A = this chain, B = another copy of it.
Amino acid sequence: MDFEPLGVAADLVILTVRDGSLQVLLIRRGIAPYRGRWALPGGFVRPKEDLEEAARRELQEETGLLSDRIHLEQVATYGEPGRDPRGRVISVTYLALVPDLPSPVAGTDAASAEWVTVDEVLTDQNRLAFDHHRILTDAVERARAKLEYSPLAAAFCPDEFTISELRGIYEAVWGVQLDPRNFHRKATKTDGFVIPLGATTTRDGGRPAQLFRRGPAATLHPPLTRG
């Protein structure tokens, strides 16, 4: 069995919600091709390394996050010939959802890594290197869809969060305003979505809010609805 020369890369769409907007972690390419352009973090899968393992390694290198507790999910694989001028490269793309990080970006490549608002990146077709514009589009669409029927939004939150903070995730990702009262009702009544901790916090100002943890549900019944 002989193979054509070909590389397999694990690329990452790392999303977070900061200051009320959905943001993606980009790195500025220091070498050709696309030198100086922004790109999704990623790198080649090593021999004897599993795909997801490679993605977690890249995630840690870029963000310093202990990736055990980070939601990471495969989105799609791109392999069009010519998508990388260096040769045939198959890109397996993973979506990572991380809470708003205290330190901006603590990875090894910190100097050239930056959080950028997704809307801003997507309005310019040529902002990103390779076919990363398309990859980001697909990953964001996946994230938006999954918020409806999965408890994924909680992956953007710290361990303990308030219903308002959770609502803020939905509003940022979907780009809509949600009624606080109806959202509160649905989030707390949906089976296994959130678990009340008893404690409260006043970090959002106003009346103290209950703190919650993520619940055990894998899917939401009934789903949350967009708009």
- A interface residues with partner B (beta carbon < 8 Å): 1-8, 45, 47-51, 74, 76-81, 86-88, 90, 92, 149, 223
Residues of B within 8 A of A51 (CB): 77-80, 90
Assembled-state Cα–Cα distance A49/B79 (Å): 9
If A3-B5, A6-B6, A87-B1 touch, whether A92 touches B80 (CB-CB below 8 Å) is no
Would you list 21 pairs from A and B whose C-beta atoms are within 8 A, ordered by A residue?
Answer: A1-B7, A1-B87, A3-B7, A3-B87, A4-B47, A6-B6, A6-B7, A6-B8, A8-B79, A8-B90, A45-B79, A48-B81, A50-B80, A51-B77, A51-B78, A51-B80, A79-B92, A90-B90, A90-B92, A149-B149, A223-B223
The complex places the Cα of A87 from the Cα of B67 at a distance, in Å, of 28
A47: chain B residues at CB < 8 Å are 4, 81, 88
Least CB distance, A173 to chain B, in whole angstroms: 17
Q: Which residues of B contact A81 (CB under 8 A)?
A: 47-50
For A8, the chain B residues whose CB sits under 8 A away are: 6, 8, 79, 90
When C-beta atoms are compared, the residue in chain B nearest to A8 turns out to be B90
- Smallest CB gap from A222: residue in B: B225
Q: How far is the CB of A70 from chain B (nearest CB, A)?
A: 19
In whole angstroms, what is the CA distance A80 to B92 when docked? 13
Q: Which residues of B contact A86 (CB under 8 A)?
A: 1
Bound CA span A5–B74, Å: 23
